[in-house]
A and B are shown apart, each in its own frame.
Chain A
Amino acid sequence: MSDASLVEPIVEYRGVSKFFSGIRALEKVDFACRPGTIHAILGENGAGKSTLMKIMAGVLKPDAGDVRVSGDAVQFPTPQSACDAGIVCMFQELSLVPDLSVADNICISDPPRRFGLIDRRQQVRRAEELLARVRCEDVDPNSLVRELSLSRRQMVEIAKALGRDPKVLILDEATSALTSRDVQTVYDLLAELKAQGVASLFISHRMHEVDALCDTLSVFRNGQHIETFAKGTKSERDIVRLMIGRDVETQFPEKPLVSSASDAGEAILEVSGLKWGRRLNGIDLTVRRGEIVGLGGLDGQGQKELLLALFGVLRDVDGSVRIGDRKGIPASPAAAKSAVTRMALVPEDRKTEGLMLGMSIADNLLSSSYAQISSGPFIDPTKARDAVAEGIAKLQIKVGAPDDAVMTLSGGNQQKVVIAKWLMIDPDIILLNDPTRGIDVGTKQEIYKLMRDLANEGKAILFYSSDYAELIGCCDRVSVLYGGRVVSEQVGDAITEESLVSASLNIDTEGA
């Protein structure tokens, strides 16, 4: 252990647990963070990193255990009280108000006052000082935040955090949108803060940043604190191994033997050079009939945008796409589902995008297939009833009556409704955006089996999951995305957790 462990920790967790509706987010976590360090928090998606930070920042309250700051047990009722104790957090989602000026935003929680009113001149001066500290003198404190670029906004966010005199500074993916010049500024700033005895907690998925910046590393997995160690004591390969662990509990349906040869079916979806804004930077991808192709990578590397773009939701998408015999991206979801080669999309958020929660199960099941159940302009009640019954039976959805509101169902059954809805149009290509998120293991396995059955029927499936185990268990091929590009394609037995995690972090462990 290094010298840092001799210093009294500024923040300490003892046996902290947190559950979200019965699902473990953190379990009995002991964790300490000492002043004058830059401490990296590493882990896969859903490892509990963000929950850990949110508890520290007073956004969430722990269900068990206690949090100590400078040795005293504390319970922060609000983020403001955590802030008062010197714990300042910058979350992934930018917390700036777009329609207020930069100065207003920087001083938003504690503006300088004069006779009870906000002293604008003083406020601008303070903003200028802080912006100078982050070397953003070019930003006018009076300009509106919405007029700034994303990377400038992130710098303003950092200036705002500095303005609160942090003792503990939490940076949750704070560098994801920065230009390289700004990243250097942030590095210098963190080094400066470290010299002043501030503890910085740094969450990043970029290993080279962690390497360049941090002195202590903690690895989390499945809501548990695995290990904390000083930088340089472990190789990147060891760190990756710590992050993925070794417990695979779920059973996956057997993959067909032939599918490892990629010439199994006809290529029904071909994408090349797909670009959209800054999120997709030239995606190349082929999906064949009878095949499940996974999209891997960390959250937010363009997987969701890719699926939405293929489904005709996004505007101004560049690149060439061939779907069946047709060239080009469908103009809208309505066009995508009614083309000769039909597509279906199970969207990311079933509660707001997949379902009309207030409507009945039957209405939700039929909402994509009015054309199939109508005779002329009128819905045929017999066909509608049969279609609903078939959908419920096929996916074994546990319902009271088809006329019950869909919101009375459990999460797993709700997701089955979304999938059943799309199966009614008999799609050729099925796009799945993290379909098993937040549902129980049993339903997950049913969905895996269904996916394999559909593939065996000759459908093409493009499947994004944030869970590596799923990708390994379900997919014939996995394309790993990083920064809006496919950085690695893995086939059959070559898909391993290690290779996926390495590709996700865009590091090469082959030589190690």
Chain B
Amino acid sequence: MMQTLLSTENRPIAIASTFIVAILLAGTVYTLSTAGTAPLLSPNYLLQQLQTGSFLGICAAGMMMVILLGHIDLSVPWTLTAAAMTATAVGGDMAIPTALAVGITVGVVNGLGVSVLRIPSMIFTLGVDTVLRGLMVAQTGGFAPQDKATPIMLFLAKERMMGIPVAIFVWAAVSVAIVVILTRTGFGRSIYATGSREAAAYLSGIRTRLVIIGAFVASGLCAAIAGVMLAGYSAKAYQGMGNAFLLPAIAAVVLGGTHILGGRGRYIGTLVGVILIVLLNSVLSIMQMPEAGRQIIYGSVIVGMLLVYGRNQRVTS
């Protein structure tokens, strides 16, 4: 019945949402039976989870633009780190604009490499990631750089407004921007068209090169925003701070139903995917699962859910 009610795009979102409820219930049953409390259902706890989840959410938003094209951006970790480290090194009012400029620059380089040089994005962005790491090591090598986050970065990542973490507002703003771009602009529709079939999009007079560059810029920009916020959250920037974000960002996008080969996917799915990953992690840590077990469960869930999606699609098509 679900197959008749839900389109291909919405089914993964429904499954992932159901799974989120299941995680919350399972976690609550666990905490009730062991400690007699239900922290997972308290608004404050959930807001705190969303606050830490916002960094991943912003990365995933940018990643989705690229995956919709059928490409991938593996340079996210060090784009994030480079933006954060440059921001703290510059300091003052120019910290955030500089970080965003770093993100845009990396995006343009990635976009040119993929659209003009026609190097597969998986290779090109991996190379860019490595180059950025080298640049950051070179920058910090020998002397301790300025690595303190500026007050505005601290505000964006740590403060609350009306009882809600500011980071969630930032995430919401990025989300609204992405949704508007994807659904309400020619650029956004061109991303879907290009990801769906590049040759047909090109012959329809869509400037596919610009579209590809634009999507990579969006991804770089999002990674830079995440870097600025993460530096604010940790009060400083440090080497390797972005490493934990690459795979969860890709997983969130794909769990949300975006087709890994491009052309199909809704932003709401990516949001659900991010929340799923964040909650799964936090429930596993509440259960005091040892690290090894957490990794195994986390990975199995991702693979398992994708299997479920794939099965359903094959049945209907």
Contacts and interface: CB of A to CB of B under 8 A. Distances in A.
A357 to B, nearest CB: 7
Given A370-B190, A371-B186, A378-B184, A347 B203 contact: yes
B203 A370 contact: no
A353 B203 contact: yes
A358 B68 CA distance: 13
B204 A367 contact: yes
A426 to B, nearest CB: 13
A368 B184 contact: no
A377 B189 CA distance: 12
A85 interface: no
By DSSP majority rule, is chain B's interface helix, strand, loop, or mixed? helix
B290 interface: no
Interface in B184-203: 184-187, 189-190, 192-193, 196-197, 199-203
A366 interface: yes
Given A357-B197, A358-B196, A333 B204 contact: yes
A309 interface: no
A356 B206 contact: no
A27 B227 CA distance: 68
Interface residues of A, number: 31
A359 B199 contact: no
Given A371-B186, A374-B185, A359 B204 contact: no
Given A356-B196, A379-B186, A337 B201 contact: no
Given A363-B192, A370-B186, A370-B190, A352 B197 contact: yes
A354 interface: yes
A359 B185 contact: no
A363 B193 CA distance: 8
Contacts of B197: 352, 355-358
B103 to A, nearest CB: 21
A356 B206 CA distance: 12
Contact of A368 (B187, B192, B199, B204): B204
A4 to B, nearest CB: 48
Contacts of B204: 333, 367-368, 421
Given A352-B200, A358-B264, A379-B184, A363 B189 contact: yes
A134 interface: no
Interface in B176-235: 180, 184-187, 189-190, 192-193, 196-197, 199-207
Contacts of A377: 185-187
A359 B207 CA distance: 18
Given A356-B197, A356-B263, A358-B264, A337 B185 contact: no
Nearest to A421: B204
Given A352-B200, A357-B197, A337 B189 contact: no
Interface size class of B (residues with CB under 8 A): 20 to 34
A336 interface: yes
Nearest to A381: B184
B203 A313 contact: yes
A345 interface: yes
Interface centre among A313, A332, A425 (most CB of B within 10 A): A332
B177 to A, nearest CB: 12
Contacts of B206: 334, 367-368
Contacts of A347: 200, 203
Nearest to A308: B203
Interface centre among B180, B186, B201 (most CB of A within 10 A): B186
A165 B197 CA distance: 44
Contacts of B192: 356, 359, 363
A341 interface: no
B205 A359 contact: no
A347 B264 CA distance: 24
A338 interface: yes
Contacts of B184: 378-379, 381
A313 B198 CA distance: 13
A358 B261 CA distance: 12
Contact of B205 (A337, A355, A381): A337
Nearest to B259: A358
A378 B179 CA distance: 12
Contacts of A355: 197, 200
B183 to A, nearest CB: 8
A7 B71 CA distance: 62
Nearest to A335: B205
Contacts of B264: 358
B50 to A, nearest CB: 29
B185 A333 contact: no
A332 B206 CA distance: 9
B185 A378 contact: yes
A374 B196 contact: no
Given A367-B193, A367-B206, A370-B190, A354 B185 contact: no
A359 B203 contact: no
Contacts of B207: 332, 334
A356 B193 contact: yes
A353 B203 CA distance: 7
Contacts of B193: 356, 359, 363, 367
Interface of A: 311, 313, 332-334, 336-338, 345, 347, 352-359, 363, 366-368, 370-371, 374, 377-379, 381, 421, 425
Given A352-B197, A353-B203, 6 more contacts: A334-B205, A334-B206, A355-B197, A357-B196, A368-B204, A368-B206
8 contacts: A332-B202, A347-B203, A359-B263, A368-B204, A368-B205, A377-B186, A379-B186, A421-B204
The 9 A-B residue pairs with the shortest CB-CB distance, nearest first, are: A370-B186, A337-B205, A356-B196, A367-B204, A333-B205, A334-B205, A368-B204, A334-B207, A356-B197
